[in-house]
Chains A and B, each alone.
Chain A
Amino acid sequence: MRPGQPLAAALAGLTLALAADVRPGVAEAPQRIVSINLCADELLLRLVPERVASVTFLARDPTASTVADLAAGVPVNHGQPEEVMAFAPDLVVAGRFSARAPLRSLQRVGEEVLVLGVPTTFAEARALITDLAGRLGVPERGAALVARMEDDIAAATTDPAQRPRAVVLSPNGVTVGEGSLVAELIERAGLHNVAAELAVDGYGRLPLETIVMAGIEVLIVDAEPDAFPALASELLDHPALKRLGRRITLAPVPARLWTCAGPQMADAVSLMAAAAGEARARRPEADR
């Protein structure tokens, strides 16, 4: 499914959904799927747009979602059990961090609930997509999506000899330490993630002093300029960073590009790789 043709996709989806009912062998595959998790929205809209009955309201928000165009014609929900039941789904897809109480309510009334995990490595991201596509009865589309994700990321990957030192300023809920998906993306962009050196774990913002003293060359800001208010942008106005401006390259990476596993992660790698290139280019000048 290419973005840019959501209406056609929705229409095609309608006919496909009708046809699927009579096809033997796919009868057990869910036909009316409701997602109550943004990452599930993204994968479902990419894998089986014709069978998605409802996605979360976040899916339509272009600052939060990478499938806003695909979600434009799909009814939205806010994760409330009543809303979800009104769609009469045969599968509800949730995320590991979805609120527990609504999930239990849904299970109590007999809804089938699938809880997606949060991948921490590329291998896990691959497995997540493959498993979900298998469950939906479209393994070939899953394989295609995994291939597209891997190709896009491989195309954006660089492996320079000189890796600029980088760190994520404000890890908005994504783990950026060793052994996380984001850490892998940072490495692929040709950067050296110093989070481990600085003992950063999970949440918690690095103090500017640490950033200044650690000789950071690329500061990855988990935010999008002007997208929504974030304190991180207030911090970027700090005179200490302004004065270091000639030594530090800022790499703003919108959270939607790496919150969920998918081909959009390649865009995050590209953004960071561009900043890495800039940092390398200014290196001799800074040494002088």
Chain B
Amino acid sequence: MTGPRRPPALTPTLAAVTLVLVAASTAIGYAPLDIPAAFADWIAGRETVAQIVLVELRLPRALSGALVGFSLGIVGAALQGLLRNPLADPGIIGVSAAAALGAVVAFYTGLAATFALALPLGGIAGALLSTVVIYALAGRGTGTMGLILAGVALSSLCGALTALALNLSPNPFAAMEIVFWLMGSLADRSWNHVLLAAPLMALGWAITTSTAPALDALTLGEETAESLGFSIAVLRAKIVAGAALAVGPAVAVAGAIGFIGLVAPHLMRPLVGHRPGALLVVSGLAGAVLTLAADIAVRLIPVQPELKLGVVTALIGAPFLMTLILRLRRTA
């Protein structure tokens, strides 16, 4: 392992920044809120408007921002490590598209109207189903290329089916709603969303972090990693499962938020000495920081109706990607 060593305080620093932004996201809203009074009401069990805004709206929004961002960042780092391609992101294996399709199906079959949370549950089911499809297509025998192709095929199929569902929608206004939903937003998320997503995400993070040694070994090449005792097939399976468990709920809760999973690992890579294993957790934290910052920006930018989170991240992420391409061309 060459290159600069990781600054020892990187992870704690990022964690601290994440916490500060969670606090800022709680403090910043659409209207000024007396936060200390709201907390006092909460502790005293008084049901005031300020307390409801703080507890039922601001805290779940800030927390889901952190959870979603961490999931996108860590999965982006894992996939870039596995595919050894800096342009990989959580969308590449089709998990995001499948989660979006699951949510749209839950919405249109009327399931979403029958019980609360059917929408995010549909998204999670879509993401988990997608792993089955990916295994069926690229499970055994095929290499990393097979995995990418399976992901691209699955993404296109899910995208087409989502468009079909919108096309057949009985309610044109509903189609508009779901298009806006797919652009990604953390507005009006509740504790139900957080509590539904968090356990699955945590499981996904755990599986993904456990791949760190294998990812480090993989930088030496697939044969070398195999000879060191790491099974590439197992690594691939773990990363796909981790991605589905972490990103599926993220899409189900917040819609499609692009570029976080692509950009976060790039920002962190020089700081951890280009070791994909060490990149995982710091990328997750960077993803949380970026998502929280974007969500705060969405509420501070005085544009009515408010910008969608996925739109803001893409507006910032795309130029970043372009500079990245220019830099790659220069170094090549």
Instruction: Give me the interface of A with B, judged by CB distance under 8 Å.
Output: 61, 63-64, 170, 172-173, 199-201, 203-205, 207-210, 212-215, 226, 228-235, 237-240, 243-244, 255
> Contact between A209 and B58 (Cβ–Cβ < 8 Å)?
yes
Q: Which chain B residue shows the least CB distance to A174? A: B173
Residues of B within 8 A of A61 (CB): 170
Q: Could you name 24 residue pairs across A and B whose Cβ atoms are closer than 8 Å?
A: A172-B173, A172-B176, A199-B304, A200-B304, A207-B188, A210-B31, A212-B52, A214-B31, A215-B49, A228-B170, A228-B174, A229-B108, A229-B171, A230-B171, A231-B112, A231-B177, A231-B181, A234-B112, A234-B119, A239-B190, A239-B191, A243-B52, A244-B49, A244-B52
Q: Is the CB of B30 within 8 A of A213?
A: yes
Choose among A64, A199, A201, A213 the residue with the greatest number of B CB atoms under 10 Å from its CB. Answer: A213
In Å, the complex CA distance between A243 and B53 comes to: 11
Given A208-B188, A213-B31: A255 touches B173 (CB 8 Å cut-off): yes
Tell me the B residues contacting A by CB distance below 8 Å: 29-31, 33, 47, 49, 52-53, 56-58, 107-108, 110, 112-113, 116, 119, 170-171, 173-174, 176-178, 181, 187-188, 190-192, 304-306
What distance in Å separates the Cβ of A225 from its nearest Cβ neighbour in chain B?
8
Q: Could you tell me the distance between the alpha carbons of A212 and B50 in the complex, rounded to whole angstroms?
A: 9
Indicate if the CB atoms of A238 and B173 lie closer than 8 Å.
no
| Inter-chain contact A204/B304, CB cutoff 8 Å | yes
CB pair B30 A207 closer than 8 Å:
yes
**A204: contacting residue among B173, B192, B306, CB under 8 A:** B306
Q: Is the CB of A210 within 8 A of B116?
A: no
Chain B residues with CB under 8 A of A229: 107-108, 110, 112-113, 171, 174
Query: Closest CB-CB distance, A181 to chain B, in whole Å?
Result: 17
Closest chain A CB from B323 CB (angstroms): 32
Flag if A209 contacts B30 (CB, 8 Å). yes
Query: Is there contact, CB below 8 Å, between A240 and B52?
Result: yes
CB-CB under 8 A for A238 and B30, given A229-B113, A255-B173: no
B116 to chain A: which residues have CB within 8 Å? Answer: 234, 237
Task: State in angstroms the CA–CA spacing of A173 and B119 once bound together.
Answer: 23
The reply to whether A231 and B306 contact each other, CB–CB distance below 8 Å, is no
